[in-house]
């Protein structure tokens, strides 16, 4: 969700933990995540398809929320212990749910932040649902990496094991019409003086919760960033950069870029099948939906045009859960001269 604007960092927590963990102390977000069947069934599938190998293993479920993943582990497999860790006040209810489902022998619920975590033993598997909009937003991944470095045994397994951010140049005609073209002639009047305000208000930040129609993708999508969850370091998150090279597949209007992520869960067995959770437009919609980055000016493009450039995710040096996404692009078309552009999208500060 949107964080409040402005504010004085000296008097505020740059992690905004009261706000962040506070929102996870109410049911609304947990219901949204649990109701997301693609997401929740992916984790269930990971546990179910690895149930034999999970026997006698020690699992940590970081940011467990209602404890659903820990309960899957306890009910579908026979781990020796599951440590379900949650920083928000939801944890009281998590304990109740573990009891209600008869899992209290296996699942230990611990309240606290990853940074302050104390466990009686190292773990074989660190599972977590840490992904945010554009994969990294809210940077819960930092807590996962800290927990990994401290508590995952050598040779232990990370779930997810890898992650990718995918980008595609796209049309967004109805969004553009609704927010920008609308002012041209509403009810026979000329409201164009409001267009600069509309651009500022609707196109400066990315649009979360966009569901892109696959028909609006102007090209085959491209993975621009990949994270190996075993090797990525917290310091690497300060600036993450990727390149793209798209070939426009059909004539259309280039309104912006749409981004989404995929994560992969490797099997505990050598040669076992990898489970993937894909939040893109060709999979069932998830609660993350996709993220739309609107450019300031729509550009007509033709089949065969190339759109290349790069994307940089720069973590906000003050507000540690926020970042700015910078897009640089160059359009090479057979007919026109090339066009270049750069736009910075704060998410959210």
Interface ranges with its own copies (CB under 8 A) = 26-28, 31, 34-35, 40-41, 44, 66, 68, 71-72, 75, 93, 96-97, 100-101, 178-179, 182, 186-194, 197-198, 201-202
**Tokens 């997810």 sit at which residue?**
160
Q: Which of 86, 129, 142, 266 is catalytic?
A: 129
CB of 197 to its own copies, least distance (A): 5
CB 222 within 8 A of CB 249: no
Strand order in the sheet with 339-347: 239-247, 306-315, 323-332, 339-347
The Cα–Cα gap between 148 and 222 comes to 29
User: Closer to its own copies at the Cβ: 40 or 316?
Assistant: 40
CB of 196 to its own copies, least distance (A): 10
CB of 152 to its own copies, least distance (A): 26
Whether residue 129 lies in the annotated active site: yes
User: Closer to its own copies at the Cβ: 182 or 226?
Assistant: 182
- Write out the two tokens for 209: 């919760």
CB 293 within 8 A of CB 259: yes
- Write out the two tokens for 310: 């790069």
CB of 185 to its own copies, least distance (A): 11
User: Closer to its own copies at the Cβ: 187 or 334?
Assistant: 187
Looking at residue 337, the DSSP 8-state letter turns out to be: P
The Cα–Cα gap between 226 and 220 comes to 17
Helices (H), the chain: 17-23, 27-35, 37-49, 68-76, 91-100, 140-151, 173-179, 195-203
User: Closer to its own copies at the Cβ: 178 or 215?
Assistant: 178
Q: Which of 138, 238, 266, 269 is catalytic?
A: 138
Catalogue the active-site residues: 129, 138
């Amino acid at each position: 969700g949107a964080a409040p604007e402005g504010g004085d960092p000296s008097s505020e927590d740059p992690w905004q933990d009261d706000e962040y963990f506070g929102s996870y102390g109410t049911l609304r977000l947990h219901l949204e995540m649990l109701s997301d069947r693609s997401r929740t069934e992916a984790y269930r599938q990971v546990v179910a398809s690895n149930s034999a190998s999970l026997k006698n293993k020690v699992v940590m479920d970081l940011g467990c929320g209602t404890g659903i993943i820990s309960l899957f582990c306890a009910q579908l497999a026979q781990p020796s212990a599951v440590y379900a860790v949650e920083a928000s006040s939801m944890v009281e209810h998590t304990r109740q749910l573990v009891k209600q489902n008869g899992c209290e022998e296996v699942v230990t619920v611990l309240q606290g932040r990853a940074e302050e975590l104390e466990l009686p033993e190292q773990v074989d598997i660190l599972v977590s649902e840490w992904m945010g909009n554009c994969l990294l937003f809210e940077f819960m991944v930092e807590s996962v990496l800290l927990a990994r470095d401290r508590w995952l045994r050598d040779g232990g397994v990370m779930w997810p094991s890898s992650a990718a951010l995918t980008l595609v140049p796209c049309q967004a005609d109805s969004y553009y019409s609704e927010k920008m073209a609308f002012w041209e002639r509403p009810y026979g009047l000329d409201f164009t003086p409001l267009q600069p305000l509309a651009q500022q208000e609707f196109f400066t930040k990315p649009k979360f919760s966009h569901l892109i129609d696959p028909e609006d993708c102007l090209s085959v999508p491209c993975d621009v960033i990949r994270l190996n969850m075993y090797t990525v370091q917290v310091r690497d998150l300060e600036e993450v950069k990727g390149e793209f090279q798209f070939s426009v597949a059909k004539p259309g209007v280039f309104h912006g870029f749409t981004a989404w992520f995929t994560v992969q869960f490797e099997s505990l067995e050598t040669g076992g099948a990898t489970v993937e959770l894909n939040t893109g437009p060709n999979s069932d919609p998830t609660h993350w939906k996709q993220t739309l980055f609107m450019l300031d000016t729509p550009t007509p493009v033709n089949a065969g045009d190339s759109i290349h450039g790069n994307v940089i995710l720069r973590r906000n040096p003050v507000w540690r859960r926020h970042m700015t996404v910078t897009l640089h692009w160059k359009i090479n078309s057979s007919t026109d001269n090339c066009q270049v552009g750069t736009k910075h999208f704060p998410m959210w500060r």
